[in-house]
């Protein structure tokens, strides 16, 4: 990973865009410690100097539950729109305080704690949940109604850098090795998740939602363009194979490249953003990863294509990693099907929201409406799906060779 690339220094879960690192950037001289990871970047002091956030206050009843941080002043960190994130510093230790979005029930913290404790036991670097003095995984603050209640948690630092997109096969290979090591570490974990997101990667559900949106919004200003695109997506969706019979495995659930952390040398450190832990068929877990990793143009373009060199490097990295899970032939044989399924599914979701205009965030500086932005995204993911479909035999041959 090039030091002068534009990175986002990642403090667990929420990210802040930073400028190119100066040449005086401090080097990584010591290995990350267990349970606590320090940010070793010259930007850290400036990030901590942010004034406390005004739109969300930390209730007095929160930090007192962690006596070590009771006197710390929370400093707003990041620009994330899901969880509200703060830095707390007691003079000897820093931690990350978060107010969880209501979509996450408190049980998500128990899932995170169980999996990261297992990773820690296996000697893997990982963010850790810091329990309250009385052992609770989080602090619940009651509101005037149940929907207005708040859930707060405290996390250890994560040391490392993430990139918004891969720029070289070497990075793709490192990503594959890192994810393989994660999958290998949790392969023998005996745990039933408490916070289960229903319908995750339920492709049929998303296709039905698209069909309903097309029928409902025939007179929408984008109805003609979205309708033509939607019909192509629905036709492709009807031809996708059923992957539900494949065994579910412990999965991260959102392996976009920005959720992987690397050190200065480009070696994978750990995964972050662990609110999506679940069991999934391996081709869908990795299909979602490859959709992100092997599309260097990102989601905000109308034309995208799978980068075969990045695909090959990622698969070879995964399949030759020193620590990797044992995969059944049916799982590797359906990897490209998983990639195609995820591309079609996401194009359907974007296309539906181009008409519904109610779910995905959007860039109001670049696009007139949410629908316009989502239509661009839908076209981009659909072009990526067609690229995967057109090169399916070539991609499958790469997987077969690497998995031998």
Domain of residue 373, residue span: 163-402
Specify the pTM: 0.81
Q: Is residue 1 part of a domain?
A: no
pLDDT digits (tens, 9 = 90+) for 324-354: 999 999 999 999 999 999 999 999 999 999 9
* 208 and 140 together in one domain: no
Q: What is the mean pLDDT of residues 213-217?
A: 97
Chain centroid to CA 401: how far?
Answer: 28
In this structure, the answer to whether residues 224 and 288 fall within a common structural domain is: yes
> 240 and 344 in contact (C-beta within 8 Å)?
yes
At 1 the pLDDT is 43
Q: Are residues 107 and 82 located together in one domain of the fold?
A: yes
Alpha helices in 143-275 (DSSP H): 169-186, 203-216, 223-238
188 located within any domain: yes
What pLDDT shows up at residue 35? Answer: 34
Among residues 159, 180, 213, which one ends one of the domains?
159
Residue of 338, 228, 352, 200 lying closest to 282 (CA atoms):
338
Note whether 212 and 119 are same-domain residues: no
Let me know: does 241 contact 344? Beta carbons within 8 Å: no
Q: Is residue 267 part of a domain?
A: yes
**Domain tally for the chain?**
2
Residue 121 and residue 222 in one domain: no
**Whether residue 107 sits in one domain with residue 44:** yes
Q: In the chain, pLDDT over 90 holds for what percent of residues?
A: 68
Judge whether 134 lies within some domain.
yes
Based on the fold, state whether residues 255 and 119 are members of the same structural domain. no
pLDDT tens readout for residues 20-29 = 333 222 222 2
């Amino acid at each position: 990973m090039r030091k002068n690339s534009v990175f986002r220094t990642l403090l667990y879960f929420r990210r802040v865009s930073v400028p190119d690192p100066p040449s005086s950037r401090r080097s990584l001289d010591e290995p990350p410690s267990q349970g606590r990871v320090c940010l070793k970047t010259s930007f850290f002091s400036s990030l901590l100097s942010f004034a406390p956030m005004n739109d969300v206050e930390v209730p007095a009843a929160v930090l007192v539950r962690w006596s070590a941080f009771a006197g710390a002043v929370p400093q707003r960190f990041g620009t994330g729109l899901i969880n509200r994130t703060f830095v707390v510093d007691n003079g000897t230790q820093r931690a990350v305080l978060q107010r969880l979005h209501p979509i996450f029930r408190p049980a998500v913290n128990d899932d995170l704690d169980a999996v990261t404790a297992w990773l820690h036991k296996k000697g893997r670097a990982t963010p850790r949940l810091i329990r309250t003095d009385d052992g609770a995984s989080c602090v619940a603050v009651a509101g005037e109604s149940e929907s207005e209640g708040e859930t707060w948690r405290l996390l250890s630092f994560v040391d490392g850098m993430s990139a918004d997109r891969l720029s070289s096969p070497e990075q793709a290979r490192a990503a594959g090795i890192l994810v393989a090591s994660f999958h290998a570490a949790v392969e023998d974990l005996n745990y039933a998740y408490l916070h289960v997101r229903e319908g995750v990667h339920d492709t049929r559900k998303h296709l039905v939602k698209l069909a309903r949106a097309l029928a409902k919004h025939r007179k929408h200003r984008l109805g003609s363009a979205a309708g033509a695109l939607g019909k192509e997506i629905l036709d492709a969706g009807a031809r996708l194979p059923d992957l539900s019979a494949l065994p579910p495995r412990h999965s991260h659930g959102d392996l976009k490249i920005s959720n992987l952390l690397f050190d200065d040398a480009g070696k994978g450190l750990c995964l972050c953003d662990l609110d999506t832990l679940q069991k999934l068929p391996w081709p869908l877990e990795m299909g979602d990863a490859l959709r992100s990793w092997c599309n260097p143009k990102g989601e905000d373009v109308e034309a995208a294509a799978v980068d075969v060199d990045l695909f090959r490097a990622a698969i070879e990295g995964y399949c030759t990693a020193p620590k990797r899970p044992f995969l059944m032939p049916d799982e590797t044989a359906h990897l490209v099907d998983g990639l195609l399924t995820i591309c079609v599914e996401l194009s359907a979701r974007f296309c539906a929201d181009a008409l519904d205009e109610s779910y995905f965030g959007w860039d109001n500086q670049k696009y007139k409406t949410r629908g316009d932005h989502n239509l661009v995204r839908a076209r981009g993911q659909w072009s990526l799906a067609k690229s995967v479909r057109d090169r399916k035999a070539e991609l499958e041959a790469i997987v077969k060779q690497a998995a031998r």
